[in-house]
Chains A and B, each alone.
Chain A
Amino acid sequence: MSIKENIKILSNLSAVSGHEKSAAKFLCSKLAKIMGQAYIDNLGNVIACKKARASQGSVMLEAHIDEIGLMVKKVDDNGFLEIVAVGGIDPRILPGNTVVIHAKDKEYKGVIGANPPHMMTADEYEQVVGFDKLFVDAGFDGDFAKENIPLGSIITFDSEFYELKGEQISTKCMDDRASVAVLLDVAQRLSKIDLEFDLYVCICVQEEVGLRGSTVAAYSVNPDFAIAIDVTHAKTPDESKPEFKCGGGIAVCKGPNVHSTLVNSFINHLNSLEIPYETEIEGGNTGTDAWAIQIAREGIPVLLLSLPLKYMHTPVETLSLKDCETLSNSLESYLKSFKRTEEVLCC
């Protein structure tokens, strides 16, 4: 299956932080078939392993499964749903969006209401509507909503898979479902290859609320080194600060969060194959699972690779399939380029 098809399937799964179970089950059975072993841990992380015949170490590939979303915090007497964010969401993008309410056994569509401008004073018109004033309207009456929409019900964006020009795609939760799709692809491509180290693929939960899943997954796996895959901001007309362009290649992080020997080894590999990349400099917290993995146990060398992404944490996260292919190619070839993990860490 192509990366594009993987992305399409994965983006349809709902996995708001803390509520990843059904998506995890789906991935667990898929990865078990590809890699041989897979299980779901106490927090809900999927930990899959392709065992080597005589293991010369272990490598962990990681991406997070969870997405940002909303949660019902109160059902009012008229059936409107008051909401709270799960993960970082800009409330300004919410009004006018269509959403899916995941109730007990059934899903309902709704919209995020906004009072019409006619009803506002000039002052109000200029103000940002915060979470305390936002609500979801699914057309429910009070009794029905109270009966059928339990507190804590999850709400996701109802987002369509859009194909734009230039092999760009746009949908919800490309952060970090696109990386998961890439890891599936890599696992598939390596499935027939005899590696001399154990290869772990960890699909982690609760990244968006504080890197919680990767904290425990890295503890359990305790690899010789880890490669975390996430997204990074790409250039848009209103923000020129990012140096990365969708379709321009992957970003390789440098800074205190990553292991410099590992970074150099990977960059040399990219250069030798003339694979396009940019370095991304982060002087401290990268805000990714790499930050948690690095200080698991007694310290784990980590590499952080990112896909440039536009409009992060919105229903229209946009990235380039070309970059996904590049990432998959580079990971596959890199993992085939050494036999023992020592070769990478000791040069």
Chain B
Amino acid sequence: MLLKKLTELNGVSGNENAVSNFILSEISKYADEITKDTLGNLIFYKKGKNPSGKTVGVFAHMDEVGLIATSITDDGYIKFSQVGGLDDRILLTQRVSVGDNAIKGIIGIKAVHLQTKDERKRVVKTEDMYIDIGAENKEEALKFVQKGDYISFDSGFVSLYGSRIKAKALDDRVGCAIMMDLIKNTYDEDIYFCFTVQEETGLRGASVLSRRLNPDISFVLESTTASDTAFSPKHLYSTSLGGGPVLTNMDRGAYSDKKLNEFVLGIAKENNIKYQYKLSANGGNDARALQTGASGSRVCSISLPCRYIHSPVCVADMEDFDSMKALIHNVLCKINTFSATEVK
């Protein structure tokens, strides 16, 4: 299964090679033209049968949040900092994979017996944590790990009850998986399928891509927060698992083009595809960089609701995933007919 393979690859921002090599090996044969740029973004150009002349891009990011080794202690433990935004509270006792040789390690913490009352109340900060790879001392650790090595969660893809699944890096291998499937089709419109880098460090891949492509229309395929969980009031759910793919009116980074959103909504209704709107204006993704990049683009995010995002245990619903893929497929089938009325 593609999504399983993708989520089990490591691709912390700035080190997306494993993911991008996999994507290249799997789908190069379907593209009419392939570009890899300076930052590592992949662009697969797919010619259409009856293109409108507009530049249409579909975007998903390859990178995931993770850690980076900052120093090795004399005792052979690895100190690290975060890449992208992580919650300190989810890090303790995680299993991690260090560097390109996937050295196994765990994020340790002293036993509860040894902690003072005060310590037990405090959240441990990343800067006070360490990774134990079992090395005797600094010298031995340096045989396996270098300062600057990227570190990912070691967390496999697991099927839960029903159509629910758990994996790391659903944000945003979900979008990658969907694009890898859709590029096999030939649409009427010319489409640029773009796999971006460094979304989690500040939409950096999409920023430079916007200038290379200068798209008129950009679809951003993403994962988005679902907080339909215990103790959360309904109006703060943002999105819910099982509710279908998510359309966004506005988030902290981008304002979706209203006409484009309506167009997508029409396609969803026409094809009886379940959908939901994001009920909060938090978060942000590559749409922000694309909207204001170069001459500006009409943007639309289509996202998979995902619980515990940015953790090793993201939970999502495969039915949502299938609906999301169907929605985007149908949108791409018709996108050459989209026209926004211009102010004359």
Which residues of A are in contact with B by a Cβ distance under 8 Å? Answer: 241, 243, 254-257, 259-260, 279, 281-285, 294-295, 297-301
A298-B212, A301-B38 are contacts. A256–B198 as well, Cβ < 8 Å?
yes
List 20 A-B pairs, Cβ < 8 Å. A255-B83, A255-B148, A256-B13, A256-B15, A281-B69, A281-B70, A281-B71, A283-B82, A283-B201, A284-B82, A285-B202, A295-B39, A295-B204, A295-B208, A298-B38, A298-B211, A298-B212, A299-B38, A299-B41, A301-B38
A285 touches B201 (CB 8 A): yes
Most chain B CB atoms below 10 A, which of A255, A283, A299: A283
Contacts of A243 in B (CB 8 A): 71
**What separation, in Å, do the CA atoms of A301 and B147 have in the docked complex?**
21
Nearest CB in chain B: distance from A124 CB, A: 31
Contact B208 A281 (CB under 8 A): no
Asked if B14 and A255 sit within 8 Å, CB to CB, the answer is yes
> In the complex, which residue of chain A has the Cβ closest to the Cβ of B148?
A254
- Is B309 close to A, CB under 8 A? no
CB distance from B159 to the nearest CB of A (A): 32
Instruction: Name A278's closest neighbour in chain B (CB-CB).
Output: B147
Smallest Cβ-Cβ distance to A259: which chain B residue: B38
Interface pair A284/B148, CB less than 8 Å apart? no
Q: A295-B204, A298-B37, A299-B37 are in contact. Are A281 and B212 (CB under 8 A)?
A: no
Task: Give the 3 A-B CB pairs with smallest separation, nearest first.
Answer: A256-B14, A254-B148, A299-B38
Are A281 and B68 in touch, CB under 8 angstroms?
Answer: yes
Q: Using Cβ atoms and an 8 Å threshold, which residues of chain B touch A282?
A: 81
A271 to chain B, nearest CB (A): 13
Contact string against A for B residues 63-75, beta-carbon threshold 8 Å, 1 for contact and 0 otherwise: 0000111110000
Tell me whether A295 and B207 are in contact (CB under 8 A).
yes
Q: Mark B22-41, 1 if CB is under 8 A from A, else 0.
A: 00000000000000011101
- Is B296 interfacial (CB 8 A cutoff)? no
> Does B51 count as interface, using CB distance less than 8 angstroms?
no
Report the bound CA distance from A301 to B70 in whole Å. 22
Residues in chain B near residue A256, CB distance under 8 A? 13-15, 83, 198, 201, 204
- Would A255 and B68 be within 8 Å (CB), given that A298-B37, A298-B212, A300-B38 are in contact? yes
B60 to chain A minimum Cβ distance, whole angstroms, is 18
CB nearest neighbor in B for A281:
B70
B147 partner residues in chain A, CB cutoff 8 A: 254, 279, 281
What is the minimal beta-carbon distance from A137 to any residue of chain B, in angstroms? Answer: 41
A299 touches B148 (CB 8 A): no
Closest CB of chain B to A303's CB: distance in Å?
13
Which residues of B have CB within 8 Å of A284?
13, 82-84, 201-202
Residue of A243, A260, A279, A295 ringed by the most chain B CB atoms within 10 A: A295
Please, which residue of chain B has its CB at the minimum distance from the CB of A241?
B127
- Report how far A294 CA is from B14 CA in the complex, Å: 12
In the complex, chain A residues whose CB is within 8 Å of the CB of B207: 295
| Most chain B beta carbons < 10 A, residue from A243, A256, A297, A301 | A256
